[in-house]
Amino acid sequence: MINLLPQKEKYDFSLRKTNNLILVFGGVIIIFLICLILVLLSVKFYMLTEIDYQKFLLEDTKSYNQSPATKKIRSAIQNYNSIMPSVVSFYKKQVSFSDILGTISRTYKPSGLYFSNIYLKQSSDRKITANILGINNTRENLLSFQKSLEELKENKMIDNIYFSPDSWINQTDSSFNLTFEITAK
């Protein structure tokens, strides 16, 4: 298409076109600024309500922490916390008798040899004295049991094995009395 407009009208047309573009961009910028102001105002009001809510929670928590019931609970917890180290040390010093009974039960016992009573007594810090009463049908079974106990002694599991002299008197159907020490882990 050929533009046959005079120069002045071309200039006016171009000026009007530029003015319209400026008005449109200005309007868009003004609308953007208005929206930004509205968003910032809503964020401000939200933050103000949150600050008030947090202040309320802080005051409520302070008043709760100053109540007599809370002070009583706090003192009870502090009391228990002061007792706990002594309780823990007590349990660390204790010996697990179930481990010792496990060691005794895992010891080889020939058939015909039975335990009737087992007495355990803590003699020193980590030493347990075991006294076992039982019956056996032959002296050979008792000798075999004594050898298995000697193997445990070599492995440093038990110490001071002692059979009463009465245990060896009868050849068959006799009772025995055994005493030894176990060092607890």
What residues make up the domain containing 89?
7-94
Say how far apart CA 156 and CA 125 lie, in whole Å.
17
In a domain, 63, yes or no: yes
In a domain, 20, yes or no: yes
Domain boundary among 32, 67, 94: 94
Regarding whether 44 and 14 lie in a shared domain, the answer is yes
The total number of structural domains in the chain stands at 2
Cβ atoms 113, 136 nearer than 8 A: yes
80-132 residue pLDDT tens = 888 888 887 777 767 667 777 777 777 777 787 888 888 888 776 667 888 88
Domain boundary among 94, 116, 151: 94
51-87 residue pLDDT tens = 999 999 999 888 888 888 888 988 999 998 888 888 8
Domain boundary among 48, 77, 94: 94
Query: How far, in Å, are 59, 94, 95, 121, 182 from residue 125 at the CA level?
Result: 54, 9, 9, 11, 11
Residue 138: enclosing H or E segment and its boundaries?
strand 127-138
For residue 126, how many other CB atoms are within 10 A of its CB? 12
For residue 72, how many other CB atoms are within 10 A of its CB? 10
Q: What pLDDT score does 122 carry?
A: 79
Regarding whether 112 and 52 lie in a shared domain, the answer is no
Name 9's bridge partners: none
Overall pTM > 0.75 = no
